[in-house]
Chains A and B, each alone.
Chain A
Amino acid sequence: MTMQTKRFSPRDYLEENPQVRKILRIAMVIALIIIGGLLVVMAIDVYTWDGFVARTSKSVVNGLALSMLLFLMVSGFFLIFGLCDVINFAHGAFFMLGGFMGFVIYLGTEALFLDSTLPFHLIFGANQFAMSLTAFIVSALGATAILALIGGGIEFFTVRRLYGNPIAQILLTVGFMFIITQIAEIIWGPPQFSYFITPNSQIAYFFMSGILDFGEGMIFEIYRIFLIFLGLAVAAIMFVGFRKTRIGLQIQAGIEDSEMVEALGTDIRKLFTIVFMLGAGLAGLSGAVLVPWIGANSGHGLTYLIYAFVIVVIGGAHYGRFEGTFFGALIVGLSMQFTAYFIPFLENIIVFIIMAIILIIRPGGLTGHE
């Protein structure tokens, strides 16, 4: 006979003692408040009150703008993962390519309107604002459409053959990531080169490049505030679309149980292609509208792919809902900008620290089941 020794497990102990659990939870909240308060006091001490206000306000605006755009990009990743069960490693590359597409289309449209041999220059004449705005809208929609076609094409011709074979899917999408990144590097050079609109524009003008100055160091770039509202608007359209339209409901149902959706008479293959187009299109859109802020850069693919992973994990991937992705993006965007302004050396690792903490407390992410 061997002796069975029961190992002590903190989780089981807490499960059996709800009161201890309750006290621990309260203690944790108090500890968090104290740590937060200490950090604020330290920050005020280091940067002075004015510096603190300026940095906080900038962190909030920039963080919200980044969060919204990350949400758009990652919701595409989440949709493809949720419905098709495909971890799309090429998603960051889609985002990066969306940036270059937005950049190229913007300049192309601008050139078209400025070319005096073509009739288009009569449309706006000297109205640079209207021309730049039109070029911006065309570039955003164009990048969305091109990436949707690329995503749909990749699904239709390659991924489709590999459903149910996760290893092959990973190899395939990693392959596409490298192919797209290499093509971008060949055309636009390595990640040392970032492409922005104003320096490359023929008239050195972008319709929304001003700043808002509230005094006390609270200076905001208008474009970033605009990005917050743009992101919110697209997110709202998506939320409503998923609640109210038939195809939105089908996608949501498919994320839960795609076989059942098929057994109820939906062409699930077609739905998969549509979701790939939608997901890649969202990556393209977010890449394109971020160009005036962070530029187009062939290195963005990998960087933002990692953010996508972190956000989906924080939000809750399996059976998680959109809300999880939204909050995940908010956490990542805000924490990155806050650390960038207050503890700069932590900027690139803060999201991983937060991810680790959240996974310890809630292994399934914010909205997912454990």
Chain B
Amino acid sequence: MMSEISLGILDLAENSLRAGASLIEISVGVSSYEGTLNVSVRDNGCGMTAEQLEKAVDPFFTTKETEGSGLGLPFLKYSAECTGGTFRIESVKGEGTCVKAVFGLFHINRMPLGDIGATVRAVMVLCADVVFSFSADGRGFVMDTRAIRKILGDVPLESAPVMEYIKEYLEENIQETSGEIKL
């Protein structure tokens, strides 16, 4: 079983990569008033047919010909639903997939959000472009690697000073956005 929601998000992003995505949008939104923690991962990968979509949360279904039966989606669905939350996947063949999970923020069964910054950095290593938005009770920020590349010009995103700055940027802004809310 997953120990962090952020690991579940990384697992979703991995699905996106295997669907050939070149852009992955990760969004985490917290509302203490509503008592919800909303997570979504949207990609521009190959998408699924209606039939594949229906089977996507079945732990015994996979399109893979090698190992692995794809427990990621059923895990995440269960972890959201057992906090009184919801889980939804939308997909259009040839256009992409979007997974949305809502967790009960204050529910005793909710896993901690965990290290979302580390998840975003891992996805940045693997995917051409990433958009990460994080908000909590009206505060928040958006990081878009396409905007970062524009600033950097010829300097690669994966060079050490850039990666170090992005790590600090994510950590500080996540911390400030979260404020006093226990995530």
A binds B: no
* A residues at B contact (CB < 8 Å): none
